[in-house]
Amino acid sequence: MNAVALNSAIPSAARAVGPAIGGLLIAALGEAGCFLINGVSYLPVIGGLLLMRIEDRPAEQGAASLSTDMMKGFRYVLHQRVLVGLISLMAMIGLFGMTEITLLPVFARDVLSGGAALYGFLMAAIGIGAVMGALGMASWKHGHRGRWLLGGSLGLASALVLFASRARSCGHGSRWWALGQPSSPCRL
Amino acid sequence: MSIYSLLFVGSQQIGALAAGAGAQLVSAPLVVVVGALVTAAYAVGLLA
């Protein structure tokens, strides 16, 4: 498994487990208790950071400024067709394909009529999918990654359409094209 | 890596703002569906 995939898998795994624990804690202790435990959980992290001993490295002679380095990076990327494609795809996914994460509390409470437990389950589902994707990308053959990326993008879009149409079926059947009608009870 | 992070995180923040505004104007499911279709169309155009 390569380092990039492992780096992606660890926070994704945490995102799968954390919301589930959070949902249980909210059910048992309420929001205040959950926030208290969340705050206390930072103490071991802070302790670990304090225990780290990192030697200071002298600044490199003739090092370029941050803006110069960034411009060099942009110029390099613009000349690499594969990198332009991958980065622009990630930007498009960030811009249009991850709206469900922002709107997930609305789905959990107003559209699906659930609570903290449902929200935790939905977040955990996203995390589990991210872990599976990261581990899969690390193990699949190099020659097929483009196809898997295309399949994953289409799979994400299909799953989101199904999720939104299923969620929307609470009021008007499964006619997802009617989602924006003013009479919709799923409006914010 | 920095450029990737800058574009990905930046687009996520802009996307979150747009999603919230879109949900206020129309509905949350419609925003998700439109976003998913735009993403799929771009992926197909790029990779197919």
Q: What token pair was written down for A24?
A: 């249980």
Q: Which residue of A has its CA nearest to B46?
A: A85
Question: Does the pLDDT value for residue A106 go beyond 80?
Answer: yes
User: Is A155 touching B (CB cutoff 8 A)?
Assistant: no
Residue A59: partners with Cβ closer than 8 Å, 6 or more residues away: none
In angstroms, the CA A186 to CA B17 distance is: 19
pLDDT tens profile A115-134:
878 888 888 888 888 888 77
Please, which residues bridge with residue A174 across strands?
A172
User: Is pLDDT at A186 greater than 80 in this prediction?
Assistant: no
A172: which strand partners?
A: A174
Q: Supply the DSSP symbol for A174.
A: B
CA distance A156 to chain B (A): 7
**Backbone phi, then psi, for A173, in 5-degree steps?**
70, -155
Handedness of CA A186, A172, A122, A22 (dihedral sign): positive
Determine the distance in angstroms separating the CA of A36 from the nearest CA of chain B, rounded to an integer.
27
pLDDT attached to residue A9: 76
3-state DSSP assignment of residue B1: coil
pLDDT for residue A7 is more than 60: yes
Cα–Cα distance measured from residue A170 to residue B32, given in angstroms and rounded to the nearest whole number: 16
Q: Which residues of A touch B22 (CB under 8 A)?
A: 99
Q: Give the domain ranges of chain A.
A: 3-49+75-176
A12-26, A43-57, A161-175 — which is least confidently predicted? A161-175
Query: What residue has token string 């589990």?
Result: A128
pLDDT digits (tens, 9 = 90+) for B1-48: 677 778 888 888 999 999 989 888 888 888 999 999 998 998 888 877
ipTM for the complex shown: 0.88
Q: Residue A50's pLDDT is what?
A: 92
Segment 4-33 of chain A within 8 Å of chain B by CB: none
When mean pLDDT is compared over A106-120, A171-185, B21-35, the highest value belongs to: B21-35
Residue type, A118: L
Spatial CB neighbours of A53, under 8 Å, sequence gap ≥ 6:
none
Query: Structure pTM?
Result: 0.70
User: DSSP for chain A?
Assistant: --HHHHHHHHHHHHHHHHHHHHHHHHHHHHHHHHHHHHHHHHHHHHHHHHH------PPPTTPPPHHHHHHHHHHHHHT-HHHHHHHHHHHHIIIIITHHHHHHHHIIIIIS---HHHHHHHHHHHHHHHHHHHHHHHHS-GGGHHHHHHHHHHHHHHHHHHHHHHHHHHHHTB-GGGTT-TT-TT--
Q: Hey, what are A19's tokens?
A: 């919301």
Given a cut of 60, whether residue A80 has pLDDT beyond it is yes
How far A43 CA lies from chain B's nearest CA (Å)?
27
**Which pLDDT does position A183 carry in this prediction?**
41
Structure tokens at B1: 């890596």
Question: Which residues span the domain enclosing B39?
Answer: 2-47
Confirm if A165 and A157 have CB atoms less than 8 A apart. no
Mean pLDDT of chain A: 78
By residue count, chain B amounts to: 48
What mean pLDDT do residues A83-95 have? 87
The DSSP secondary-structure symbol of A81 reads H
The length of chain A, given as a count of residues: 188
